[in-house]
Copies of this chain bind each other. A is one copy, B any other.
Amino acid sequence: MDDTRLTLRLDFGANRSIGPGKVRLLEAIGRTGSISQAGRELGMSYRRAWLLVNDLNLCFQQAVVSAHPGGSQGGGAQLTKFGQKLVADYRAIENDAFSAVKSHLRDLESSLRPADPVAVEKPKKTSIRSRTR
């Protein structure tokens, strides 16, 4: 059961939240330097991507993305220093949460039905690995 993954969502109340979708979007913006391209990578419209970024910019005291107008799709964009810290913090929280509940997860995994007929042959003892980030 190497591939058990834990994903978390944080709700700060009053419709302010951060979860895997927004974080993946931020990571893609950091990688591509573009909100529209990041959105495309994740299969979302520019409008949807922009709204998520806007949500985040309004959620925190500091902006997470700085966008530069220009180009038919909204120009370039980059993570601010705070945006980079936010992504790193979220991933650290995810890792810490995962570490904290590993023994619980191992317990749950032992209750799983084998994924497919072939998996019946696999040894029951399982190891938990955090996914590559």
Contact = CB atoms under 8 A, between A and B. Distances in A.
Interface string A71-90: 00000000000100010010
A12 B60 contact: no
Interface residues of A, number: 43
B104 A96 contact: yes
Contacts of A1: 12-13
Interface string A1-44: 10111111111111010000000000000000000000000000
A127 to B, nearest CB: 10
Interface string A56-79: 001111100000000000000000
Interface of A: 1, 3-14, 16, 58-62, 82, 86, 89, 92-93, 96-101, 104-105, 107-109, 111-113, 115-116, 119, 126, 128
Rank and list the top 7 A-B pairs by shortest CB-CB distance, nearest first. Answer: A3-B13, A100-B100, A97-B97, A14-B115, A5-B11, A7-B9, A93-B101
